[in-house]
Amino acid sequence: MPEYTHTLIPDQVDFVPDPKQIRAFLASLISLGAAPLEPSFGVSMPSGKGITFTNPFTGKTESFGTYKSKKVKSVAGISDALKELDDYNLVVSGKGPPKLPAIKFDYKGRYEFDVHCCQRAEVVSTSDWHDEVPVKQKVEFFGRPCNPKSRLGIFHHPKTLKVIEVPMAGCARFWIEFEYGKMLFPRIKDSLDLIEPKIIGAAESDFRVKFIQGCHWGA
């Protein structure tokens, strides 16, 4: 399971792309040599079913919806696959490093590398804080519904757990993920501005919005 994911978050909280823009962006990644190698394409969407459980820490009953998946043959089929979907994860799964890595690591071998384009039916949190180190702000966990006015992104450094605040990166309906396996974590100092500038340029050109960088990760 990949441990580190870097995110590109639109500066417009309610931005939702046209499927043709997603197809164009993935085509741009391929043209730049930045897409996963040996790629496969798939789309997951709400199944209409859910799972209910008791949170062992709070004792409260919680639930979440499950997703169903389907394969897409190529980039050309992406527009049709996403047509009329309001909530989805589009994933390009493959290997890295590509010719133009989005992030460079201190590792020379091959690794799992996925690119996701994620959209939700409502605004959700794109912050990623970890409850073993509480934060002073009231912030929802990554992926949970949140107030669209909660725009400040709160992230914990994956090694030091220091809080990194990123303006305008706290919530969105759409975002892009670069997900890595092999327990690879980038070198992070005080900023999450890590993505190769050519990829940022392609995203902002294809989607016609500005993107801000964030992350989420698991131990």
Q: 197 exposed, middle or buried (CB, 10 Å; 0-12, 13-18, 19+)?
A: exposed
For 181-210, the pLDDT digits (tens) are: 999 999 999 899 999 999 999 999 999 999
212: left (phi over 0), alpha (psi -120 to 50) or beta: beta
Take residue 161 and report the two structure tokens written for it: 């757990």
For 95-154, the pLDDT digits (tens) are: 999 999 999 999 999 999 999 999 999 999 999 998 888 888 889 999 999 999 989 999
Rounded to two decimals, the pTM is 0.92
